[in-house]
Structure 1
Amino acid sequence: MGEAYQIRDQEMPYFLTFQIVGWADVFTRKVYRDLMLENLVYSREEKGLYLYGYVIMSNHVHLIVQQKEGKLSDWVRDFKKFTSKKLLKLILENQQESRREWLKMIFEFHAKFNKRSGDLQFWTHDNHAIELYRPEMIESEMTYIHENPVRAGWVESAEDYLYSSARNYAGLKGLIEVDFW
């Protein structure tokens, strides 16, 4: 993991990217995106997370977050561990998942190169953590994550993408609540 992308100050807001191994397009399915949202809501309500912004793309998630008790690294570890177990179980036990064997092959392949992963690996171990120590940095990263679906060609306007906090910031009803910056 690069020295530049580590969580140093546990109390500061950070831009994080959680990437699926092999850039596998898992979040093309609503059920998997919804599981991520459920866990973000739980993290806000029960784990002391300030969720300032998010976007769920097909193979990665961008977040702008801060942890109330100054334990951001602990939250990241726990969140990724819990969501990977839940998502792997959903994918591999779902007989209707047409990509089940292909996805399993990807998760097994990437686990071979990491002793900490066990038999399957869902998330990469890097979080691309960027400390946001100035308000203009938060605004810049917020624009970046909200424009992700626009750059991907999925929507014309950021607020049209349901799985993003852009709707909240545009004054529309989002799928989940966020903590406004």
Structure 2
Amino acid sequence: MSEKYKFRDPKGIYFVTGTVVHWIDLFTRKEFKHIIIDSLKYCQKEKGLIIHAWVLMPSHLHMVISTSGKPLETIMRDFKKYTSRAIIKELDRINESRKEWLVRAFGKSADKIKRVTSYKVWQDGNHPIHLDANQLQEQKVDYIHNNPVESEVVDESVYYWYSSARDYSGKKGLLDVVPLE
């Protein structure tokens, strides 16, 4: 694994990305989105995850995060592991038209890796970037909030439910956010 992308400063603020294998547009259904939201809430409450900014797009999750508890690498590992299992379980529960294709894609991704026994939903790594300057923090927060606008999902970032842009505009979003100044 590259030495470049690691959580080196335990007190630092980081930009991270979680991407679905093959960039599959998985988070188009509310059930899968809510697995992510509920898991992030759990990580905030039980593991000390601090979310400064976030956006959940169809194939990936961007966040600016820090921690007041467990190490970020532990939180992210557990988050991905739990949500992977929950998503596979949810695929069995709901009427998803792409179920067979998704299960096959996640299964094939797992076949290539010895440590994964059944399904692989997330790509390896989080690509953490240490945001040690205010300018860098501001740039990443703007990037996160403009992601749905650039993807032409909404006209204005505050209208996208699955983002902290609402919190930065004075409205309450889906997650507790500690805005950066």
Q: Considering the TM-score relative to the shorter chain, is it more than 0.5?
A: yes
Question: Which position in structure 2 is the counterpart of 1:162?
Answer: 161
Residues in 2 aligned to 1:112 and 1:60: alpha-carbon distance in whole angstroms: 22
Deviations 1:72-110 (A, max 9, x none): 11111111111111111111x135111100001110111
**Which residue identity does 2:74 align to in structure 1?**
D
Residues in 2 aligned to 1:117 and 1:140: alpha-carbon distance in whole angstroms: 35
Query: Are 2:6 and 1:18 aligned?
Result: no
Paired residues, number: 180
Query: Are 2:35 and 1:2 aligned?
Result: no
CA contact (8 A) 2:47 2:70 kept: no
Please state how far the C-alpha of 1:10 moved relative to its aligned partner.
2.3
Tell me the SS of whatever aligns to 2:7.
Answer: coil
Please state how far the C-alpha of 1:114 moved relative to its aligned partner.
1.3
Question: Which position in structure 1 is the counterpart of 2:86?
Answer: 86
Question: Which position in structure 2 is the counterpart of 1:113?
Answer: 112
CA contact (8 A) 1:25 1:58 kept: yes
Unaligned segments of structure 1, at least 5 residues: none
TM-score, normalization by structure 2: 0.95
TM-score, normalization by structure 1: 0.95
Question: Which position in structure 2 is the counterpart of 1:140?
Answer: 139
Distance 1:2 1:37, change over 3 A: same
Question: Which position in structure 1 is the counterpart of 2:170?
Answer: 171
**Which residue identity does 2:108 align to in structure 1?**
F
Worse-matched range after superposition: 14-23 or 167-176? 167-176
Please state how far the C-alpha of 1:70 moved relative to its aligned partner.
5.8
Query: Are 2:67 and 1:67 aligned?
Result: yes
Tell me the SS of whatever aligns to 1:3.
Answer: coil
Question: Which position in structure 1 is the counterpart of 2:76?
Answer: 76
Please state how far the C-alpha of 1:8 moved relative to its aligned partner.
1.6
Please state how far the C-alpha of 1:168 moved relative to its aligned partner.
0.5
Question: Which position in structure 2 is the counterpart of 1:47?
Answer: 47
Unaligned segments of structure 2, at least 5 residues: none
CA RMSD of aligned residues (A): 1.2
Please state how far the C-alpha of 1:2 moved relative to its aligned partner.
3.2
Distance 1:24 1:49, change over 3 A: same
Query: Are 2:28 and 1:33 aligned?
Result: no
Residues in 1 aligned to 2:125 and 2:31: alpha-carbon distance in whole angstroms: 25
Please state how far the C-alpha of 1:51 moved relative to its aligned partner.
0.7
CA contact (8 A) 1:10 1:70 kept: no
Tell me the SS of whatever aligns to 1:117.
Answer: coil
**Which residue identity does 2:17 align to in structure 1?**
T
Residues in 2 aligned to 1:45 and 1:52: alpha-carbon distance in whole angstroms: 15
Tell me the SS of whatever aligns to 1:18.
Answer: strand
**Which residue identity does 1:130 align to in structure 2?**
I
Deviations 1:16-39 (A, max 9, x none): 000011111110001111111111
**Which residue identity does 1:28 align to in structure 2?**
T
CA contact (8 A) 1:18 1:124 kept: yes
